[in-house]
Amino acid sequence: MRSINPSNTHTSGDTIPGRIFILEDHPTMRLGIKHLLEENACWQVVGESDQVTEALEMVAELKPDLVIADLVLEGKGGLDFLKAALEHQPDLNVLIYSMHEEKYYAERVLTLGGRGYLMKSSDTQTLLLAVEQLLAGQVYLSQAMSRLVLDRLSGRPRKVQAVASPLQRLTDRELEILNWIGRAKTSQEISKLLGISLKTVETHRAHMRQKLGLNSRHELIQLAIRWVEHGL
């Protein structure tokens, strides 16, 4: 699905103007984000897509100021987009907008060069704030996540140490495969979607069971379903 909007030069108030691209595979969500953003005359959604490969081509062509990208997409995911896009446009602002808990992904996104992470459960004003901050050259994280990251960077122990989830031990690729398992994809289907061998998929599944303390493929499937449906 490829969509490009004509140029719009309207501006108003003190808001920093911005040309925005949306990478999201749910049409209703994509439309809602677009309408919300374009209520501000300074912002224009210049393009949108539901596929990473197509989005990379469009972003290279359109050169938006900001990309809002989901994590879980058909085939390659948001982290794949982030890595590939920043190889060609290191200064590109990317906001990852996902249903999954920030504790699993926010630091990964920043490490890869993303400029912000926001959960879809956040209210619309928070999304607008995140967009404003990225267009202003800042980074956006929730207050809780910002404190956690700063504490880790400073080496200062936190007074209240949250119990770490075993899911945080998973690699980016393992989390991606977990998503597809939760969407009822077989190992053969996952290997085709991700362009990796069946043996590699099975190796990842074995590593996940070990890291998560699971005894069977069935237990992994049940956990993956909860991950997809509720974001844990």
pLDDT at 10 over 50: no
Compute the average pLDDT of residues 50-56: 93
What's the pLDDT tens digit per position in 108-128? 899 899 999 999 989 999 999
Predicted TM-score (pTM) of the model is 0.77
**pLDDT score, position 159:** 52
Percentage of residues in the chain with pLDDT exceeding 90? 57
Lowest mean pLDDT among 5-19, 63-77, 81-95: 5-19
Asked if residue 97 lies in contact with residue 70, where contact means CB atoms within 8 angstroms, the answer is: yes
**Whole-angstrom distance between the N-terminal and C-terminal Cα of the chain?**
30
**pLDDT score, position 4:** 58
Compute the average pLDDT of residues 26-35: 93
Compute the average pLDDT of residues 38-54: 93
Q: Can you tell me the distance from the alpha carbon of 184 to that of 34, in angstroms, rounded to the nearest whole number?
A: 30
**pLDDT score, position 158:** 54
What's the pLDDT tens digit per position in 161-216? 445 678 888 998 898 899 899 889 999 999 988 888 999 999 999 999 999 999 99
pLDDT at 5 over 90: no
Sequence-ordered strand ranges (E) for 70-171: 93-98, 116-119
Give one DSSP letter per residue of 2-38, joined into a string.
Answer: EEEPPP-----TTPPPEEEEEE-S-HHHHHHHHHHHT
Which burial class, exposed, middle or buried, applies to 229 when counting CB atoms under 10 A from its CB (0-12, 13-18, 19+)?
exposed
Which domains, from first to last, does the chain contain? 2-153 (3.40.50.2300), 166-230 (1.10.10.10)
> For residue 75, what pLDDT band results from cuts at 50, 70 and 90?
confident
